[in-house]
């Protein structure tokens, strides 16, 4: 496939004609201008100690202008890349919007990655400047000192007030033309090669998906949302930061999720909608297992996606808290959500779609895209026929950054290929409800985060006493999937604890195996590829176990 043919396929997958009218805001700077004189509260930030900081749209806009002046003063212009080395903080939200106002590209860094992968992201993403929160200053300095190719990166430590990353005086030169097709985010996601891939999202991608989400969930100026997910991920960024901004609503941004404070904050701030992953639902289910569930909370519903939701977790949550789960599905490559179960259906119908087919339905496509099930040759399949979930629409990424091979695979048949296996069933109105049955790719999705098994294999096979070993994603009630190791031991060797200790010393806790299972041989295909799914049943006894880092 030559370059032009590849670009045509990507363009076809992105430029779907939808039922949506022309976009209300052509780019982020136009959206910011529309909200610039609104005195209502946009964001309430709750830090790790429970202290609240509020910013109205007017105040937030002024901070964005100051940060944009700062970035421009440092010589950055349209297309340049900045990185954010941060936890959830309202300062980081200002930095995102300021970058987009200028047509810059934000590369959020997930600090759960190891230093080598962070260095790869910084180099591959061609970062010019990084905003670094104080807590990560020493680690970031160490990464720059270790890798010569990163020494050019300018970095700003963000602590205290906004004055160290904003500029009050001087002019600000904004592009007169639309920035709709300007790159806005490069989100690095794990791939089957073990190297993270840079998902390139444009301003149009972000705004179209935000609009589709807002309309699906009836989010308007009176709606208050809450963000408990990390904003280095598209879910936190698009669903609970950009979507309420697009609608003129408000958001409560948490430094981190605290199970004991979840419902008190919901009640205190009168939150209507919160976006979660199945792991957090399980935390709440367990926390309130031995005590009374809160009553009369203002939540209309919770949005849930980004990882495998089990029928059991969904049913327990809805029965215990009497709060509907609106299940959905999407990927970084489709900006965020591509489909949802309808909001207004009855509890009986919702339970039907949660459980009747053995998997909770991920719902119906949103207006920004269409979905289908294809076979390996790109042919559309019918109802209940299993194949690959594919997507095309205005929320589909521009492509993987500087990765022609990955793009050729992902857009092989003119649609974006998700790598997920599924099927659909039409309802009485002829609307397709989609379901996921597994992954064609061998990613392990733990708590909504994609983990590459090949990267984990590398460590497992260096552990003491291991003849051969593979990483296996097994079903877990707490994280959707957990990481296990299936091992062939060297003759005369034993000791699972030594293998676990070695892996935990060389991998971040989320990636390290929690369980070791010893087998006689590792199943492989005729071409020598591991068949991980053939040994997942060996891990069934740990399905309900919650593994903690400091046990």
Pairing between β-strand 183-189 and β-strand 197-202 as defined by DSSP bridges: antiparallel
Q: 518-544: b or e for each residue (b if 16 or more CB lie within 10 Å)? A: eeeebeeeeeeebebeebeebbeebee
Q: CA neighbours within 13 Å on the CB side: how many for 261?
A: 16
- CB atoms near residue 384 (< 10 Å): 12
How far apart CA 524 and CA 532 sit, in angstroms, is: 8
Helix (H) or strand (E) holding 387: strand 387-393
Instruction: Give how many domains the chain has, as a whole number.
Output: 2
What band does 192 get if pLDDT is binned at 50, 70 and 90? very low
Q: pLDDT tens digits, residue range 436-464?
A: 876 776 778 899 887 878 778 878 888 99
Q: What CATH number is attached to the domain comprising 484?
A: 3.30.300.30
Instruction: State the pLDDT at residue 309.
Output: 77
Q: What CATH number is attached to the domain comprising 146?
A: 3.40.50.980
Is 205 a member of any domain? no
How far apart CA 183 and CA 462 sit, in angstroms, is: 40
Is 522 a member of any domain? yes
What band does 473 get if pLDDT is binned at 50, 70 and 90? very high
Task: Find the largest Cα–Cα distance for the chain.
Answer: 73
Q: Residue 510: which domain range?
A: 444-542
pLDDT mean across residues, the chain = 90
Domain final residue pick, 148, 179, 210: 179
Domain final residue pick, 122, 146, 179: 179
The listed range with the strongest mean pLDDT (56-65, 357-366, 420-429) is 56-65
What one-character-per-residue DSSP string does 175-189 give?
-SS--TTSEEEEEEE
Mean pLDDT of 265-291: 91
Q: Phi first, then psi: give them for residue 70, nearest 5 degrees.
A: -60, -50
How far apart CA 46 and CA 263 sit, in angstroms, is: 14
Q: pLDDT tens digits, residue range 19-63?
A: 444 568 899 999 999 999 999 999 999 999 999 999 999 999 999
Task: Name residue, tokens 């935990």.
Answer: 504
Instruction: State the pLDDT at residue 18.
Output: 47
Is 255 a member of any domain? no
Report the 3 state secondary structure along 349-370.
HHHHHHHCCCCCCCEEECCCEE
Report the 3 state secondary structure along 233-302.
CHHHHHHHHHHHHHHCCEEEEECCCCHHHHHHHHHHHCCCEEEECHHHHHHHHHHCCCCCCCCCCCCCEE
Is 126 a member of any domain? yes
Q: pLDDT tens digits, residue range 119-129?
A: 999 999 999 99
Q: Kindly state the DSSP code that residue 535 receives in the 8-state scheme.
A: G
In 3-state terms, what secondary structure has residue 156? strand
Give percent of the chain with pLDDT exceeding 70: 93
Q: Which candidate, 268, 322, 336, 315, places its Cα nearest to that of 293?
A: 322
> Among 122-126, 295-299, 367-371, 505-509, where is mean pLDDT lowest?
295-299
Q: Which candidate, 419, 425, 423, 415, places its Cα nearest to that of 393?
A: 415
Is 134 a member of any domain? yes
> Distance of CA 461 to CAs 158, 466, 517, Å?
40, 6, 14
Is 353 a member of any domain? no
Strand-pairing partners, residue 518, are: 487
Is 5 a member of any domain? no
pLDDT of residue 160 exceeding 90: no
Mean pLDDT of 107-134: 94
Is 140 a member of any domain? yes
Q: Phi first, then psi: give them for residue 189, nearest 5 degrees.
A: -125, 145
pTM above 0.75, yes or no: yes
Domain final residue pick, 179, 212, 228: 179
């Amino acid at each position: 496939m030559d370059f032009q043919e590849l670009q045509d396929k990507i363009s076809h997958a992105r430029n779907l004609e939808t039922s949506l009218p022309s976009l209300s805001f052509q780019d982020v700077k136009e959206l910011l201008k529309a909200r610039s004189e609104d005195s209502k509260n946009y964001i309430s930030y709750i830090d790790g100690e429970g202290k609240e900081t509020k910013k109205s749209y007017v105040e937030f806009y002024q901070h964005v202008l100051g940060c944009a002046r700062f970035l421009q003063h440092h010589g950055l212009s349209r297309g340049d890349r900045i990185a954010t080395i941060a936890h959830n903080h309202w300062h980081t939200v200002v930095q995102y919007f300021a970058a987009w106002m200028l047509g810059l590209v934000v590369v959020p860094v997930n600090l759960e990655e190891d230093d080598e992968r962070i260095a790869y992201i910084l180099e591959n993403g061609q970062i010019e400047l990084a905003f670094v929160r104080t807590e990560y200053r020493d680690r970031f300095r160490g990464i720059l000192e270790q890798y010569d190719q990163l020494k050019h990166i300018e970095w700003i430590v963000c602590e205290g007030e906004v004055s160290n990353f904003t500029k009050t005086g001087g002019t600000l030169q904004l592009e007169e033309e639309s920035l709709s097709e300007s790159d806005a985010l490069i989100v690095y996601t794990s791939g089957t090669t073990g190297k993270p891939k840079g998902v390139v999202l444009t301003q149009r991608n972000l705004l179209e998906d935000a609009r589709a989400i807002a309309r699906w969930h009836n989010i308007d100026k009176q709606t208050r949302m809450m963000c408990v997910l990390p904003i280095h991920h598209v879910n936190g960024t698009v669903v609970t930061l950009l979507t309420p901004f697009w609608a003129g609503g408000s958001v409560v941004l948490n430094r981190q999720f605290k199970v004991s404070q979840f419902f008190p904050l919901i009640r205190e701030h009168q939150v209507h909608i919160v976006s979660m992953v199945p792991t957090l639902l399980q935390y709440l289910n367990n926390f309130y297992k031995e005590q009374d569930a809160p009553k009369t909370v203002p939540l209309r519903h919770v949005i849930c996606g980004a990882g495998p939701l089990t029928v059991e977790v969904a049913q327990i949550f809805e029965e215990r808290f009497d709060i509907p789960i609106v299940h959905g599905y999407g990927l970084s490559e489709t900006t965020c959500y591509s489909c949802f179960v309808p909001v207004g259906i009855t509890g009986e119908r919702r339970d039907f779609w949660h459980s009747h087919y053995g998997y909770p339905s991920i719902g119906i496509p949103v207006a920004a895209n269409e979905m289908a099930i294809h076979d390996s040759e790109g042919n559309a399949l019918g109802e209940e026929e299993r194949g690959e979930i594919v997507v095309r629409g205005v929320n589909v990424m521009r492509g993987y950054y500087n990765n022609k091979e990955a793009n050729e695979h992902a857009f092989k048949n003119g649609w974006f290929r998700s790598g997920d296996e599924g099927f659909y069933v039409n309802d009485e109105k002829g609307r397709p409800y989609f379901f996921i049955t597994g992954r064609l790719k061998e990613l392990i999705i733990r708590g909504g985060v994609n983990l590459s098994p090949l990267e984990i294999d590398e460590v497992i096979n260096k552990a003491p006493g291991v003849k051969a070993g593979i990483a296996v994603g097994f079903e877990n009630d707490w994280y959707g999937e957990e990481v296990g190791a299936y091992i062939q031991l060297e003759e005369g060797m034993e000791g699972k604890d030594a293998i676990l200790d070695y892996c935990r010393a060389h991998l971040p806790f989320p990636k390290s195996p929690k369980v070791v299972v010893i087998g006689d041989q590792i199943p492989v295909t005729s071409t020598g590829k591991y068949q991980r799914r053939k040994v997942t049943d060996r891990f069934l006894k740990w399905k309900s176990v919650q593994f903690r880092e400091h046990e």
